[in-house]
Amino acid sequence: MLDTLLFLLVDGVTNGAVYGLVALSLIVIYTVTRVVNIAQGEYVTLGALSFASGLSGSFNVLSAIVAGGIAAFALMDVADRRLVAAVRIRILVSRALWISLVLATAWAANLVPGSYWLAVLASLVATASLGTLAYRLTVAPLSSASPIVLLIVSVGVYMVFHGAAVMIWGAEPRSVPPVVDGGLTLGLVFVTYQSLWICAFSVVAMISLYLFSERTLIGQALQATAVNRTGAQLCGIPVSVAGQLSFAIGAGFSALSGLLLAPLITANYDMGFPIGLKGFVAAALGGIVEYPTALIGVLLVGLSESFSAFQVSDFRDVAVFLMVIPILLWRNAVRPPDAHEH
């Protein structure tokens, strides 16, 4: 009995780690841009599928599309007549570097099939860049629209990404080998190396995000934008850069969760949405603004999921989702959100 319990515990914590990355992505994007991003799960899918492409040594079409998108925006930026030549050259050089980074990582992963780290790098660079493109195309032009319009636009983005994933990779699931086969016995319970890997990688990623936002100037600027957009703008923080950065971080973290999870459930076009939804519920427990509460949330969601899968009862799902209500009521009484957001 105890070993089953421990097994479920490990399973739940592993799931929680994956959802945690998605929950953090949602929070970063929401706090900085006020977008409740329905398309978040698709970055999970795209990350996992890009990773599978890289590992199998086939060229990642997504990288090419992203490079094209960056080039298109670079041309649009340069076409602005108010810019002086020096600025134009700086834009062109920086964008050229960016494009070559995207293409070079994809190409390197293509040249050395089976290289874990190159595949991870290529996938993360492509997906994070895709996030910035999504911001520039669908969020930046709607800076004065209400959050609900932004939410619906993100549904449109979800549809495009979802369809594109099938068009590029097909509907067949792709099996992805774990980083190392096997596992080890910890006391009573057998833990796969992949589970340990997922937890370790997630924790490292979360710590680096924390250090980034606390210790670096850019991170502080991002936090300032999250607290007060207009105020940050007045202090000279460009809202568009903050928005692109938040989307890059959000997309990258979600892609990371996808490529970590892929060996356990295979990479397929349909994997993202349920993960995105669970990340969303976890983030909701923290009112999608607080990181620490969201982390408790992901553990709750991960554990309740693995335990309910073991003990077959459909009403468990009902209970898990209804659990959100009293928590929100309690949080609302203790620390209500800013009522003028909508």
Partner 1 sequence: MTSLPHVLSSWRGPGIASLGVVICLFALTCATAVLGPQYEVTLLVTMGLTAIAAMGLTLLLIAGQVSLGQAAFMAIGAYVAAILARDHSLPSILALLIAVATSAIAGVVVGVIALRLKGHFLPLATLAIGIATSAGIVAAGPLTGGASGFGQIPPLAIGPLELVNERAFAIVVWSILAVAGAGFSRLLHSRTGRAVAALRTNVEMAEVFGVNAARLRLLVFVVAATLAGLSGGLYAFYFKFLSPAPFGLTSSINLLIACIFGGMSHPFGAVLGAAAITALEMVLQNTVARMFGLSGHVEMIVFGIVLIGVLLRWPGGIWSALQHVWPAFSVARPGRNIELTPSKRCAQGEDLLRVTGLAKNFGGLRALQDVSFSVGADQIVGLIGPNGAGKSTTFNIATGLLEPSEGSVLLMGVPPPARVSDLVHRGVSRTFQHVRIVPELTVLENVAFGAYAQGRSGMISGMFALDRSEEAATFAKAWRALAIVELDGLAHEPASRLAMGQARLVEVARALISRPRLLLLDEPAAGLRTGEKLKLVTLLHRLKRAGTSVLLVEHDMDLVMNCVDRVVVLDRGQGLMTGHPDEVRRDERVIAAYLGA
Chain contacts with partner 1 (rule: CB under 8 A) = 36, 38, 137-138, 141-142, 144-145, 147-149, 151-153, 155-160, 162-164, 166-167, 277, 280-281, 284, 287-288, 313-315, 317-318, 321-322, 324-325, 328-329, 331-332, 336-339, 341-342
Tokens representing 120 are 């991870």
CA 266 to chain centre: 18
Q: Between 9 and 164, name the residue whose CB sits nearer to partner 1.
A: 164
Helices (H) and strands (E) in the chain — how many of each?
Answer: 14, 2
Q: Between 236 and 336, name the residue whose CB sits nearer to partner 1.
A: 336
**Minimum distance from residue 138 beta carbon to partner 1 (Å):** 6
Q: Between 236 and 326, name the residue whose CB sits nearer to partner 1.
A: 326
**Minimum distance from residue 290 beta carbon to partner 1 (Å):** 12
- Taking CA atoms, 238 is separated from 34, 83, 95, 144, 150, in Å, by 16, 16, 18, 15, 20
**Minimum distance from residue 201 beta carbon to partner 1 (Å):** 28
**Minimum distance from residue 317 beta carbon to partner 1 (Å):** 4
Tokens representing 137 are 């195309």
Residue in this structure with the two tokens 């590029």, named with its chain if needed? 168
**Minimum distance from residue 285 beta carbon to partner 1 (Å):** 9
Q: Between 68 and 113, name the residue whose CB sits nearer to partner 1.
A: 68
Tokens representing 217 are 């100037």
Strand partners, 191: 184
**Minimum distance from residue 233 beta carbon to partner 1 (Å):** 20
**Minimum distance from residue 174 beta carbon to partner 1 (Å):** 17
CA-CA distance, 221 to 208, in Å (whole number)? 16
Q: What are the φ and ψ backbone dihedral angles of 190, each rounded to 5 degrees?
A: -90, 125
Q: Between 61 and 328, name the residue whose CB sits nearer to partner 1.
A: 328
Q: Which 3 state secondary structure label does DSSP give 216? A: coil
**Minimum distance from residue 179 beta carbon to partner 1 (Å):** 31
> Closest Cα to residue 177, out of 52, 285, 74, 71?
52
User: Where would I find the beta strands (DSSP E) of the chain?
Assistant: 183-186, 189-192
Tokens representing 87 are 């600025």
Q: Between 217 and 333, name the residue whose CB sits nearer to partner 1.
A: 333
Q: Between 67 and 288, name the residue whose CB sits nearer to partner 1.
A: 288
CA-CA distance, 342 to 339, in Å (whole number)? 7
Q: Between 234 and 333, name the residue whose CB sits nearer to partner 1.
A: 333
CA-CA distance, 337 to 284, in Å (whole number)? 12
CA-CA distance, 322 to 273, in Å (whole number)? 20
**Minimum distance from residue 34 beta carbon to partner 1 (Å):** 9
Cβ-in-10-Å burial (0-12, 13-18, 19+) of 146 comes to exposed
Q: Between 150 and 260, name the residue whose CB sits nearer to partner 1.
A: 150
CA-CA distance, 281 to 288, in Å (whole number)? 9
